[in-house]
Amino acid sequence: MNESPDAGTPIILGVDDLRALPGATQIARTSREGIRLLEEHRDHRIDELWLDHDLGGDDSIMPIVAVLEEAAFGGRPFDIGMVFVHSANPSGAETMVRVLRRWGYRVRRAPA
């Protein structure tokens, strides 16, 4: 999808292997799909980004967290209003929150 988002429509992205995330405008089910989704929105404001830690099998959110980290380290963080961590994995969720806050992203825990 290379279309420019409508300026009046909030961009709410979700990365979760199972949940429906009713408010999301787009959902990725794997870390690979999540990275592609971030790349598609690289030059646009993402109003909300919803992240689950465990994405089924051996997949996790950590490759996406690494992309966000690398962008911030390079001086060009993604423009995200709020990252919501909604994982049932307490240690994974805490790691995500700690890492993303360290790089200046606004992060909030949400019920899983």
User: Hey, where are the domains in the chain?
Assistant: 12-109
CA angle 89, 96, 78 (to 5 degrees): 140
Element (H, E) at 15: strand 12-15
pLDDT interval class at 22 (50, 70, 90): confident
How do residues 36-95 score in pLDDT, each as one tens digit?
Answer: 999 999 999 999 999 999 999 999 999 999 999 999 999 999 999 999 999 999 999 999
Task: Report in angstroms the alpha-carbon separations of 107 from 3, 4, 56.
Answer: 27, 26, 23
CATH number at 12-109: 3.40.50
Cα 32 to Cα 43: distance, rounded to the nearest angstrom = 19
Task: Report in angstroms the alpha-carbon separations of 40 from 4, 37, 54, 95.
Answer: 10, 5, 23, 25
